[in-house]
Amino acid sequence: MIGAEVIIEMFKNYQVKVLFGVPGDTSIRLYEALRKSGSALTHILARDERSAAFMADAYARLSHKPGVCEFPSGAGALYGVPGVAEANASSIPLIAITSDIPLSGEGRQTITELDTRKLYESITKWAYIIKDVSRIPDVMRRAFRIATTGRPGAVHLAFPKEALYDEFPAKPADIYADMNCCTYPAFRTRGARVELESLAAHILEARNLVIVAGGGVNHSQAGNAVRKVAEWMKAPVVSTISGQGIIPDDHPLALGVIGDNGFHPHAHLAVEEADLLLYIGCKTGSVSTINWSMPSEKPGRKIIQIDLNPEMLGNNFKNVLSVAGDARLVVEDLLILLKGKTPERETSAWLNGLNEQRKAFWQDAEDKFHTDAVPLKPCRIIAELNRHLNETAVVISDAGTPTPYITRYLKLAAGNSRFIIPRAYGGLGYAIPAVVGAYHARPEARLVGLFGDGSLGMSAGELETVSRLGIPAILIHFNNGTFGWIKALQKLHCNEKYFSVDFNANDPVMVARGFGMKAISIHTAKELEQGLEEAFSFAGPVFLDIKSEPESEDLPPVYSWMRTLAREK
């Protein structure tokens, strides 16, 4: 058995079902080993290494298994960087492997020579070059352990030619997996008893308790536990963008998204009126806190934070209590401590007031949801989409144009519905490849990808991948012929002196059809209704090219932008 075959056997032992990647000169033996492995491990050919990493990222988010991707040497390793970095910063376990040049060619200007360890060290939890074929099993065990434990993240392994081609000298018995690390988070940690008792005491004493749920709640699968605590304490729940959908949007305690991008005013009000804010799986970063201006300073307000990563505890605010531990375990333990106890205050009037504000917000939005204005307003598109979403819906968005409208207006059903968006670095080109990874994690789900034309320009090649694999995804393209987010910023801060942000809208429908997809061009509200009906009743992939209004024409609900406009007036 050669090294390449050992790698595949290790993946199989770790119950890896799918591997996303792009072939290259240096990965011939790896691909031969994949071919010989049969149907136990499916290889998904991507059209770009960055896309392969995005596919693995989305797969990991939905399957709760490490995502695995592979790239060839040189440019392949370079192209994979954005996707690996996004996964790592978003606490998503990813195993990225690269095939590499022979060790004998190091320092001799061998084509594609690149120090991948240095390249990946700053964007992964661990980067390593395996120079000895006998080390493959133990190094891969370490890679899976590092990726899935503590704060999950990305790991990069480089395999020079010798590690792939040489015969494995050890016993087959050495090729085994640590089954604890086949899923994440592995080796979950509990909060200390004394901290949990203090947490329960603070919660029971609070008059206006608000739970702030971050992406860590999704990663930990703590949604049910958080909902039960909220219901027991009659505490409203707000979320960051990454935490959107933690509890059903129609739940009386689900007030919506906080922060700068696509916020809900009633959610902001709840945060400001709270005397105790309980952050769960939330890093309290710049967006969710509007550059740490929310919550404002208020005498007597307490902040408590639960996070898997102790480095994040009290990093941006002065906490009255910090609890290090897995969100699900900590909240489940909290439930036990709260059993039989009731809060020492009456909150119905406060909750009723917040829900009245929420009701008024959605009533005010109705006019926007039914406007027939052309080009179509993004909020009209999201409202129409909401009518078709069911309990299996997985909605994936790119950064940019769709973000503030989705976070403000998207309504997820209960059940297994999810919303995914890359929030660490905000790179464009995520949604189209992500639906490929999502499909292999949740083949029964109704997949929807939303993206602007800036994103389409960076990932259009993956339309062929979606078409080739017959993935039944609905791809919604916001076509406004501009880098809309940047153009809106130029409107705000450059006196509408636009520079190098516009391009030709052209006809992406022809591109999608050229890749073999069903594609529909949409200009009017009536065409939108008909197009979505047709798309949701179709069994294969559908590309909807929707001519939409750019952000510069009607600024989207971004808190800092709205505040800037108010100051100017």
Verify that 326 and 393 share a domain, yes or no. no
For residue 535, what pLDDT is reported?
Answer: 98
Q: For the segment 129-158, what is each residue's pLDDT rounded down to a tens digit?
A: 999 999 999 999 999 999 999 999 999 999
Verify that 409 and 539 share a domain, yes or no. yes
Tell whether the model's pLDDT for residue 501 goes beyond 90: yes
Verify that 333 and 376 share a domain, yes or no. no
Tell whether the model's pLDDT for residue 200 goes beyond 90: yes
Cβ atoms of 338 and 355 within 8 Å: the answer is no
Tell whether the model's pLDDT for residue 192 goes beyond 90: yes
- Read off the CATH number of the domain in which 320 is found: 3.40.50.1220
Q: What angle do CA 379, 250, 214 make, to 5 degrees?
A: 80
Q: Is residue 8 part of a domain?
A: yes
Classify strands 393-397 and 446-452 as parallel, antiparallel or unpaired: parallel
| C-alpha pair distances (Å), 44 with each of 147, 384, 471 | 21, 33, 12
Verify that 228 and 298 share a domain, yes or no. yes
Question: Per-residue pLDDT averaged across 183-202, rounded?
Answer: 97
Comparing 183-192, 195-204, 407-416, 546-555, the range with the smallest average pLDDT is 407-416
For residue 371, what pLDDT is reported?
Answer: 95
**Which DSSP letter does residue 565 get?**
H
Tell whether the model's pLDDT for residue 343 goes beyond 90: no
For residue 333, what pLDDT is reported?
Answer: 98
Position 521, amino acid: S
Q: Is residue 365 part of a domain?
A: no
For residue 569, what pLDDT is reported?
Answer: 67
Q: What angle do CA 309, 314, 320 make, to 5 degrees?
A: 120
Q: Is residue 247 part of a domain?
A: yes
For residue 340, what pLDDT is reported?
Answer: 84
For residue 402, what pLDDT is reported?
Answer: 85
Phi then psi dihedrals of residue 33, to 5 deg: -65, -40
Question: Per-residue pLDDT averaged across 449-455, rounded?
Answer: 95
Tell whether the model's pLDDT for residue 345 goes beyond 80: no
Tokens of 182: 């086949």
Verify that 273 and 391 share a domain, yes or no. no
Verify that 245 and 307 share a domain, yes or no. yes
Task: Compare 347 and 355 and report the one with higher pLDDT.
Answer: 355
What is the domain extent for residue 38? Answer: 3-181
Tell whether the model's pLDDT for residue 24 goes beyond 90: yes
For residue 344, what pLDDT is reported?
Answer: 66
Classify strands 94-99 and 446-452 as parallel, antiparallel or unpaired: unpaired
Verify that 207 and 310 share a domain, yes or no. yes
Chain-wide mean pLDDT for the chain?
96
Residue 352 CB neighbour total at 10 angstroms: 11
Phi then psi dihedrals of residue 558, to 5 deg: -115, 120
Verify that 333 and 450 share a domain, yes or no. no
- Read off the CATH number of the domain in which 95 is found: 3.40.50.970
Percent above pLDDT 90 for the chain: 92
Interhelix angle 327-338/223-233, nearest 10 degrees:
30
Tell whether the model's pLDDT for residue 342 goes beyond 80: no
Verify that 170 and 287 share a domain, yes or no. no
Verify that 240 and 135 share a domain, yes or no. no
Task: Compare 344 and 339 and report the one with higher pLDDT.
Answer: 339
* Among 272, 239, 226, 227, CA closest to 423: 239
Measured on CA atoms in the order 197, 202, 204, 209, is the torsion positive or negative? negative
For residue 347, what pLDDT is reported?
Answer: 74
**Which DSSP letter does residue 261 get?**
B
For residue 405, what pLDDT is reported?
Answer: 94
Tell whether the model's pLDDT for residue 367 goes beyond 70: yes
Last residue of a domain, one of 321, 354, 387: 354
For residue 401, what pLDDT is reported?
Answer: 78
Question: Per-residue pLDDT averaged across 54-71, rounded?
Answer: 98
Verify that 38 and 84 share a domain, yes or no. yes
Q: For the segment 390-443, what is each residue's pLDDT rounded down to a tens digit?
A: 999 999 999 887 899 999 999 988 788 999 999 999 899 999 999 999 999 999
Q: Is residue 360 part of a domain?
A: no
Calpha distance 148→12 (Å, rounded): 17
Q: For the segment 256-301, what is each residue's pLDDT rounded down to a tens digit?
A: 999 999 999 999 999 999 999 999 999 999 999 999 999 999 999 9
Give the count of domains, the chain.
3
Verify that 161 and 208 share a domain, yes or no. no
Last residue of a domain, one of 181, 206, 238: 181
